[in-house]
C-alpha cells in the first residue's frame, strides 16, 4: 500500500489509519501488526511545505491498536515499537508516496526529506483466553513520553534524569499497570531543539533528540521501577587521527549482556534495543551513552541497551536475595535481513514467522523435549526493527550489522535498510541444531547470534 503525501486537486477526504494485519492466519504464532497514520487535514491543494498536511497523532495509533486488540483478544502484545517510515518519489504520479513496506531508501545528505512515524506491535498467540463475567479479557495499551528537560546550565539533562522521572511517576502510581517496554526514540528537532512526540510527520533534521517512550499494559499499579543498562563495545585498538578504531563485535557485546542478565536474576527483562550513539570528534574511542541529543553527520557506534524492571521494595542487591529468585535467562538473538534490494518488510516478516513455526513444530515432534519445555525455552522475549546505514547496498549487511563502529555515516547518498532482530530465551542444543538445519544462513540472508 502506498499513501500519497502530495494531494491532488479535488475534494479532500480524511484517510483512515492503515492496519497491516492481512497476513495473519491460523498458523501464525508470533508476528507484528503495523498501524500507519493517514492524512487527516490539509491546508493547501498540494505541497510538501510545513503545515500543508496533518497526519494522525501517535496517540490515535495507540487508541486504534487497543480497538484492534479488543477485536482480537487471542493475541498478546510483548513489545511495541515506534517505526520510521520514509517516502519515495513516484515518477508516474509525480508525487511523493509513503512506502511502509519497503526496506531500502536513499537518504541524501542535503535534501530535505519528510519522514513519518508509525506504531508496530509485536504479538504472540495466547495459549488460552481468559474470561471474566462472560467477557473475554484483552490487553489495553497505554504509554508515557518523557522529553529531556533543560538544566540550569542550558544543556539537556541526561538519560539518568529521564529514568528517575519515570520512576517517580511509577511511585506516584501515575503509570498504572505492567510495563511492556521502554523505548529510546529519536525525534527530529526544529531549529530551537523543540519536538512534539505526538506528531507523526516531521522533516528530516540534522538536530536529533532522544526521548523515552514507556509502553505499558493498563492494570493495577505494580510498583516496578525501571532500570536501563547500556552495553558498549570495548575499544580494542586504533582511534588516532590516521587510524580507524577497532571495537569488539556486536555479537560479543550481546554475549556480555546475556551473561549480565544471568547474574542479575532479581531483574525482570522487558526489552532490548540497538542504538546508534554519536562519537565525539575529539575522541573516537570515548562513548557517552547518557547524552540525549546530537547533531547529524559524523561517526557512530552501536550499543546494546537493555531495559529491566525491579520491585521498588528492593533497595539493594543483598535484599534481593530474600525475594523469589526467577529462573536464569540466557539470550539467543536471531537477525533477519533483506536478501535482495527489492525485498520488503513483509518478506522479512514471512521468514521470521516461518522460522518460528518450523522451530516450534520441530520441537513438538522431538522425542527428547516435551511440549511444555519447548514452549518455555523457545519463548520470544522481545523483537526490534533496526535501521542500518550503508554507504551502498553492495556493502555486506552481515558484516555491517556485526561491526558496531560506522565512520562518517553520511556521505552524498546512503542506504537505510530495515532489519528484524528477535530475542528469545536460549533453547537447548538439539533445538538449535534443528533450527540451523531448517534455515541455513545462506538461504535467508540472516545471521544467528547464540548468546551464552
Report pLDDT digits (tens) over 91-114.
787 777 888 888 877 765 444 568
The per-residue pLDDT for 444 is 27
pLDDT digits (tens, 9 = 90+) for 137-191: 889 999 999 999 999 888 999 999 999 999 999 999 999 999 999 999 999 999 8
Q: Classify burial at 367, counting beta carbons within 10 Å of its beta carbon; exposed 0-12, middle 13-18, buried 19 or more.
A: exposed
**pLDDT confidence band for 428 (50 / 70 / 90):** very low
Nine cell digits for residue 284: 573516537
Mean pLDDT of the chain: 78
129 neighbors 73 (Cβ within 8 angstroms): yes
Q: Model-level pTM greater than 0.75?
A: yes
Whole-angstrom distance, CA of residue 118 vs CA of residue 107: 19
pLDDT digits (tens, 9 = 90+) for 38-80: 999 876 544 444 447 899 999 999 999 999 999 999 999 999 9
State how far the alpha carbon of 124 is from the alpha carbons of 29, 121, 181, 338, in Å: 6, 10, 15, 23
- 251: closest CA among 423, 449, 441, 452? 449
The mean-pLDDT minimum among 159-163, 199-203, 384-388 falls in 384-388
Nine cell digits for residue 419: 532489519
Task: State how far Cα 184 lies from the chain centre.
Answer: 8
The per-residue pLDDT for 357 is 82
Residue ranges of domains in the chain, CATH in brackets: 1-139 (no CATH), 140-329 (no CATH), 330-452 (3.30.70)
The per-residue pLDDT for 290 is 96
DSSP secondary structure letters along 261-330: HHH-TTSEEEEEEEEEEEPBTTBTT---TT--EEESSS-EEEEEEEEEEEETT--SHHHHTTSPPPPPP-
Amino acid at each position: 500500500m502506498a499513501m500519497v503525501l502530495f494531494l491532488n486537486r479535488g475534494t479532500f477526504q480524511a484517510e483512515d489509519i492503515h492496519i497491516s494485519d492481512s497476513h495473519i492466519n491460523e498458523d501464525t504464532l508470533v508476528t507484528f501488526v503495523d498501524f500507519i497514520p493517514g492524512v487527516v487535514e490539509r491546508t493547501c491543494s498540494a505541497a510538501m511545505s510545513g503545515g500543508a498536511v496533518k497526519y494522525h497523532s501517535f496517540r490515535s495509533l495507540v487508541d486504534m491498536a487497543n480497538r484492534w486488540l479488543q477485536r482480537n483478544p487471542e493475541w498478546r502484545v510483548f513489545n511495541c515499537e515506534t517505526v520510521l517510515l520514509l517516502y519515495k518519489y513516484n515518477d508516474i504520479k509525480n508525487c511523493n508516496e509513503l512506502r511502509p513496506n519497503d526496506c531500502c531508501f536513499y537518504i541524501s545528505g542535503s535534501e530535505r526529506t519528510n519522514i513519518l512515524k508509525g506504531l508496530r506491535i509485536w504479538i504472540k498467540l495466547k495459549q488460552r483466553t481468559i474470561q471474566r463475567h462472560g467477557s473475554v479479557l484483552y490487553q489495553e495499551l497505554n504509554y508515557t513520553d518523557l522529553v529531556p528537560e533543560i538544566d540550569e546550565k542550558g544543556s539537556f539533562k541526561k538519560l539518568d534524569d529521564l529514568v528517575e522521572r519515570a520512576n517517580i511517576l511509577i511511585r506516584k502510581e501515575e503509570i498504572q499497570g505492567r510495563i511492556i517496554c521502554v523505548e529510546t526514540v529519536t525525534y527530529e528537532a526544529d531549529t530551537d531543539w523543540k519536538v512534539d512526540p505526538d506528531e507523526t510527520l516531521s522533516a528530516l533534521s540534522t538536530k536529533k533528540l532522544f526521548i523515552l517512550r514507556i509502553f505499558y499494559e493498563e492494570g493495577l499499579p505494580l510498583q516496578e521501577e525501571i532500570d536501563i543498562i547500556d552495553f558498549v563495545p570495548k575499544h580494542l585498538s586504533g582511534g588516532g587521527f590516521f587510524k580507524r578504531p577497532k571495537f569488539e563485535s556486536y555479537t560479543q557485546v550481546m554475549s556480555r549482556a546475556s551473561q549480565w542478565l544471568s547474574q542479575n536474576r532479581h531483574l525482570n527483562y522487558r526489552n532490548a534495543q540497538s542504538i546508534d550513539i554519536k562519537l565525539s570528534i575529539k575522541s573516537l574511542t570515548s562513548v557517552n551513552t547518557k547524552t540525549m541529543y546530537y547533531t547529524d553527520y559524523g561517526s557512530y557506534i552501536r550499543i546494546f541497551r537493555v531495559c529491566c524492571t525491579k520491585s521498588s521494595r528492593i533497595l539493594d542487591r543483598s535484599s534481593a536475595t530474600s525475594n523469589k529468585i526467577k529462573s536464569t535467562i540466557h539470550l539467543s538473538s536471531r537477525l533477519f535481513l533483506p536478501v535482495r534490494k527489492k525485498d520488503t518488510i513483509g518478506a522479512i516478516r514471512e521468514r521470521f514467522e516461518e522460522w518460528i513455526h518450523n522451530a516450534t513444530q520441530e520441537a513438538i515432534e522431538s522425542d527428547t523435549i516435551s511440549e511444555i519445555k519447548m514452549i518455555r525455552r523457545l519463548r520470544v522475549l522481545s523483537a526490534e526493527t533496526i535501521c542500518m546505514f550503508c554507504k551502498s547496498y553492495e556493502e555486506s549487511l552481515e558484516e555491517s550489522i556485526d561491526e558496531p563502529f560506522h565512520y562518517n555515516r553520511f556521505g552524498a547518498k546512503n542506504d537505510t535498510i530495515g532489519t528484524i532482530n528477535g530475542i528469545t530465551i536460549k533453547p537447548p542444543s538439539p533445538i538449535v541444531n534443528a533450527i540451523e538445519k531448517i534455515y541455513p544462513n545462506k538461504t535467508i540472508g540472516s545471521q544467528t547470534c547464540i548468546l551464552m
